[in-house]
């Protein structure tokens, strides 16, 4: 734990964003979370660069380790899409791959030592003439509700796109107004279908945020212990958290595929 900070100050400091304003809410309405935007962009570029290198170096002969790794991921995602989505996979496949890899990289940032990036940023911030005590930064984009909702809203928009694409405007309207109680129960139908529609992005965003925010908070609390005592709870939690970050990226990808499949098909 940083010297001169009480436990409450230490936790509060690590939970504040580097932002363009002074909005400390979970979802910022008046300020941009610059740390989330920068780190998400860098992780996205890392994902694209890695897969681009693998594509350029791909051979028909004996594949290298990178090609094997990338082909394994692509085959797994493609099989997941094939099992759930029965239309053209030209867009859904790359979308699912991007979500799975990007969210996984988001989540992996939770495994970095709690004070590593904040210490580096404090030195940079201080060298710029600012007070290092106010050098706030958070490195786990999926622990920022603004990021998880932004991603889930993108999926939400695609649900409407694929609903119109698969059913047409008339088919979507008929299903929305007449399912599940028939044409005479259109008011309950509207209420139920609206709740169901809104629950999809909410469940995507809140599930990912809740798990990673809890994980981040536990790592911060472990960091409050003396350095020699951190290994006892820290190592088991880190090992368990590897499963959590992998599972959460898989769940987000799978639910995206399922929601788009449900939107595309007639019922």
Active site positions, annotated: 203, 207, 211
Which residues have a Cβ under 8 Å from the Cβ of 234 and sit 6 or more positions away?
219, 222
Q: What are the two backbone dihedrals, phi and then psi, of residue 114, each rounded to the nearest 5 degrees?
A: -55, -40
User: Kind and range of the H or E element at 165?
Assistant: helix 145-178
For residue 180, say if its preceding peptide bond is cis, omega within 30 degrees of 0.
yes
d(CA 157, CA 142): 20
> What DSSP letter does each residue of 24-76 carry, written as one string?
-SSS-SSS-BHHHHHHHHHHHHHHHHHHHHHHHH--SSS--HHHHHHHHHHHH
Q: What are the two backbone dihedrals, phi and then psi, of residue 19, each rounded to the nearest 5 degrees?
A: -130, 170
d(CA 51, CA 62): 18
Cβ atoms 103, 252 nearer than 8 A: yes
Cβ atoms 164, 172 nearer than 8 A: yes
Cβ atoms 252, 98 nearer than 8 A: no
């Amino acid at each position: 734990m940083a010297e001169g900070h009480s436990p409450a100050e230490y936790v509060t400091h690590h939970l504040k964003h580097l932002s363009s304003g002074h909005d400390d809410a979970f979802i910022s309405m008046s300020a941009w979370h610059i740390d989330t935007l920068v780190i998400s962009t860098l992780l996205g570029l890392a994902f694209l660069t890695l897969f681009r290198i693998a594509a350029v170096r791909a051979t028909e002969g004996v594949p290298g380790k990178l090609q094997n790794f990338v082909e394994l991921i692509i085959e797994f995602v493609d099989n997941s899409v094939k099992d759930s989505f029965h239309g053209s996979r030209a867009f859904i496949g790359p979308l699912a791959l991007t979500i799975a890899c990007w969210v996984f990289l988001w989540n992996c940032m939770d495994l970095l030592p709690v004070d590593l990036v904040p210490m580096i940023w404090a030195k940079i911030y201080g060298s710029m003439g600012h007070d290092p005590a106010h050098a706030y930064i958070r490195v786990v984009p999926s622990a920022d509700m603004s990021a998880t909702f932004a991603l889930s809203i993108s999926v939400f928009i695609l649900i409407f796109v694929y609903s119109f694409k698969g059913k047409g405007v008339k088919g979507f309207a008929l299903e929305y107004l007449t399912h599940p109680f028939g044409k005479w129960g259109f008011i309950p139908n509207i209420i139920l279908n609206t709740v169901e529609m809104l629950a999809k992005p909410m469940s995507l965003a809140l599930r990912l945020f809740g798990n990673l925010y809890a994980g981040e908070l536990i790592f911060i609390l472990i960091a409050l212990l003396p350095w020699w005592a951190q290994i006892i709870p820290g190592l088991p939690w880190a090992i368990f958290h590897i499963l959590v970050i992998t599972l959460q990226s898989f769940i987000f990808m799978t639910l995206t595929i399922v929601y788009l499949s449900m939107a595309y098909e007639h019922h």
